[in-house]
Every structure is written in C-alpha cells, then in structure tokens.
Amino acid sequence: MPSPELGRRWRAARDGLAVVHLDAAAAGATSQAVVDAQATHLAAEATLGSYGAQEGAAERLAAARSALAGLLDPTLTGADVAFHHCATSGFTALLDAWPLPPGGRVGIVPSDFSSNLLALRARALRDGLELVDLPVLPDGRIDVDRLRQGDGPAALDRLDLVTFPEIPSQRGLVQPTAAVAALCRDAEVPMLLDVAQSLGQVDVAAAGATGGVSAYVGTSRKWLCGPRGVGFLAVRPDFVDRLGVPAPTGYTARWEPDPVAPGGGRLVAFGGVGRFDVGEAPVAARVGLAVALAEHVEAGPERVRARVQALGGAARRRLDAVAGWRLGEDLDSPSGIVTLRPPSGVDPAAVRGRLQREENVLATAIDETRARDAVPALRVSPHVYSTLADLDRFAEALERVTTRPAP
C-alpha cells in the first residue's frame, strides 16, 4: 500500500473507532481533531455567545472555502464557494436558479443520484424540459467518442445543461469528467458537476482546469471526512451572474424600490455565490469541516488519492468471489468505491445489517432506489485510514455471514 505512514497517522487520529469502518462513501470516519474543533466551538458559543464565537471562527471558515476552491478548480477562489446544508440542497438551489429556456434540454446519465434526478424531473415538469441520456458505455461511463461525434438526441449542441455525478454512489466507476468538460466548454454548454462522491478521492480539479465546469456541489461527510450536516456549492465567477435567486430571503437578496416597475421594485440577488447563502447554520460543523480540509491538504491530496485507489484495488482482489459475491465493476476501476453483487438468494440489506450487528463491520447496502442503473449490492469503501487487515476482516466476516444462518 502506498503511504503506509500516512495510513498510520490517520488511524492514530481515529483511535476511538470501535468498528471496522469500510464505509467512507456513506460517511468517512472523522478524526479526533475534527470532533474536538466542533466541541471547542460549541463551548465558545456557550461562553462568548454564538455570534462572538462565529466571528472568532471567521478566518478558519474563509480558509475552508479557499481549500475547497483549490481542490475543485484553479479558476475559483474562496469567494466562489458557499456552504450549504448538503450536496442535495446545493444541487436543488443551483438547479432552481439555473437559466433554462422553456423546452430546454438537459443531458443526464443513468447513474444520476436519485435525489438529483427527482429535482431534475420536478424542474422538467414545471418548465417543459426534456431530460436526455448522454451516450454511455456498458459499464456506465460516458462514451466520450460518441459524445464528441455529436449525433442523436444528446448531441451537445442541442443541450442547455449537462449534469452528472463524477463518481456515482452505487458503483465503483469514475466518469471521464475532464474529457466531457472540455467538450462542454467547446460546445458552450454549461455543466453542473456533482462531486459528493469524488472530492477527496479523485482529482476533481483536472476537470476544473479545462474551464468546462460551471458549477459544483459536494458534501463534507464522505471522502473529506468532515462532519455531517454541511455541504457546499461553487460557481465559476464568469457564470454566476447568469443564475437567478433560488430562495429570495434577507440572506440571499434585497429589494430595490422602483416606483415605475411592476410591483414597485425589483429583486436584486446578492453578488456572486452570496445568493445561495444559508444564513442560519451549524457553525460548529463548518468549523469541523475546516479542520478536515486542513488535514486533507496537509496529508497531500495526491497521496490520499493514490492510497484510496490502491485500497480500492486491493479490496476488489480480496473480495471478488468470497462466498459467491462478485464484483460490480472492473478490477482496475480508479475508485475507492467497491461493489459486490450477491450470490443468488442473498439479500445485501440483510447481510449489511448482520455485518454490523454480528461482526462490527460497516458497509452499505445498495438497492434499486438509489439510481436508475442501481442493482442490489454491498458497497465497501476504504479510506486512507483503512488497512489490508481491515479487508481481510471484512472478507472473513462476509464469508461467515453469508454462509451461516441468521441467528
């Protein structure tokens, strides 16, 4: 495994973990420093008052937004990043504000996160939009050659928006995001990229560097190992003024009186991503994310990525064919998400529950509701702190639980 020393440090920073944690794609294990920073902030709220504590955290929160900008896209700064409740709320806020003509066409993929797809369907119903699948290969990756050839209903020059998750939740595949972003840039089609499952485990900024990604949504708790209840969105500064105001409130917009205008005035969005601000928020959780980001940057994002990829590959080699479970993706997929399809008659949700209760092992069960292309599977997602020994323990636990009758 690459960077064994980094792995040891991240494990030591989590020495309270009482489970075999192979579930970063659901929620990465947080370090003690992330927990302590939150507790310290809550204590400061109690002693200094909540707003005083927030002022004291301002620099750290600004540093967190800058760190996110740096990980996403070389043209972004911290001023282009807004905290949000989660990736889903960031996605719906952006989509509500996104300029789309009546009858407009949105390019999506079969692996879209079901929640995002619901928001897209609702907007499509409201505004008569058409959702069209981009061409994909049999494994679910976008077919860049067919997209470049540009014929058929998903021809880029007929689209008004392209959106997809760089890494879907339900399968270990990584989209060729940089290539797609470059095509979108050339075709002048805005792209909204969901990095909830990719930021922290692949090089998102490679796509950002093409200049073809207009906006991003992501979350704290997965591969960034931050707290729950925080997400973020980011918009390129040369695009943000094309967006409307998703939820006009005192946090996001102001009223400009104009006696001759219909209604006596007009709504003016706050500048930049300020129009997406969530005024009231768990500031302690944002402070925790700031610490998690600092740890990620300090570890070296490249080293984190290399170790996660290697662990994903090791997990696939170790787990394929254990008790009849089979890999749901290529052995060499460069993702830390590993999926296992069950032997016939075995229910992944039941196995997941038993792994947790009987074996103290954390993983996730995937079912068909997660995405249009989802199939029942167990999802295993090791992170920097994971070891080959964890994978062995998982394999042995999976063997026992699959072959032994439920108690």
Ligand X SMILES: *Cc1c(COP(=O)(O)O)cnc(C)c1O
Rule CB under 6 A: which residues touch ligand X? 86-88, 113, 165, 168-169, 194, 196-197, 219, 231
In whole angstroms, what is the distance from residue 216 CA to residue 324 CA?
A: 39
38 versus 198: smaller Cβ distance to ligand X:
198
54 versus 92: smaller Cβ distance to ligand X:
92
73 versus 194: smaller Cβ distance to ligand X:
194
Give the bridge partners for 202, in sequence order. Answer: 199
Cβ-in-10-Å burial (0-12, 13-18, 19+) of 385 comes to buried
In whole angstroms, what is the distance from residue 258 CA to residue 268 CA?
A: 12
Report, in Å, the least distance between residue 94 CB and ligand X: 12
**402 contacts 341 by C-beta, under 8 angstroms:** no
Rg (CA), the chain: 22
Report, in Å, the least distance between residue 167 CB and ligand X: 7
In whole angstroms, what is the distance from residue 401 CA to residue 350 CA?
A: 10
Q: What is the three-class DSSP state of 164?
A: strand
Report, in Å, the least distance between residue 271 CB and ligand X: 26
**381 contacts 26 by C-beta, under 8 angstroms:** yes
194 versus 295: smaller Cβ distance to ligand X:
194
135 versus 165: smaller Cβ distance to ligand X:
165
Report, in Å, the least distance between residue 169 CB and ligand X: 3
In whole angstroms, what is the distance from residue 84 CA to residue 277 CA?
A: 7
Give the bridge partners for 339, in sequence order. Answer: 379
Report, in Å, the least distance between residue 124 CB and ligand X: 18
7 versus 382: smaller Cβ distance to ligand X:
382
Report, in Å, the least distance between residue 9 CB and ligand X: 26
